[in-house]
Structure 1
């Protein structure tokens, strides 16, 4: 069940929800051909906040996070390597807050599904 027009927009069973939209290839690929699909749950005035579901296939690309982004990974496996060399491994059940300005590389090892919120 989905009610995106509700005063409290919601998606039931978000970890398995399949009514996703094509969001295209990941920009700046370094390896593979990662492709994204997703579903926007809510976008506020000036695009703040933004929340939804993001699914991405394997590959590696450069990443730069423009705003604080909270991610709850509900499927798959990935590795984020900051420009400082710090590595963050994620898998189903991992929650991560990428602060605004986080930069480095993202590598999806097994297709990931992420419930996200940009603030």
Structure 2
């Protein structure tokens, strides 16, 4: 049975310490369109089955291709990004925006001003 100690807090302030695995990485060359964005990922929680995860993602400016196999809820904590679908339709994302990216979305993600977001992802079982 789960109790209070099993609740996972996910901080939102840059100065807060986040529990979980922390990674720094660059966009893979085959996905990169422009820039050389440095990205960080702090995975705060992954379910035992591995299909559900949440954490904090951040990136410096750059532009790259995306292909979502998971469904992802996002909340932009700071910065400005533009996400475009394969047809070129664009959506600007700013601090405070909350949205869901559906599984199967293909397009590009461009960070215009360094960006941080909370994400919650669900990957359907194969």
Determine the C-alpha separation between the residues in 2 that align with 1:88 and 1:46: 33
Structure 1 residue 11 displacement after superposition = 3.2
Q: Considering only CA atoms, is the larger Rg found in Structure 1 or Structure 2? A: 2
Structure 1 residue 39 displacement after superposition = 1.2
Superposition map of 1:10-89 within 5 A = 10-12=9-11, 14-17=12-15, 19=17, 21-27=22-28, 28-89=31-92
**Does residue 9 of structure 1 match 2:12?**
no
Determine the C-alpha separation between the residues in 1 that align with 2:8 and 2:17: 15
CA RMSD of aligned residues (A): 1.5
Structure 1 residue 23 displacement after superposition = 2.7
TM-score where L is the length of structure 2: 0.82
Q: Secondary structure at the match of 1:16?
A: coil
Moved over 6 A (4+): none
Contact in 2 for aligned 1:19/1:39 (Cα 8 Å)? no
Determine the C-alpha separation between the residues in 2 that align with 1:43 and 1:99: 19
User: Which string of whole-angstrom CA distances, capped at 9 and with x for unpartnered residues, describes residues 89-108 of structure 1?
Assistant: 10100111100010101110
Contact in 1 for aligned 2:67/2:106 (Cα 8 Å)? yes
Partner of 1:3: none
Aligned length: 113
TM-score where L is the length of structure 1: 0.87
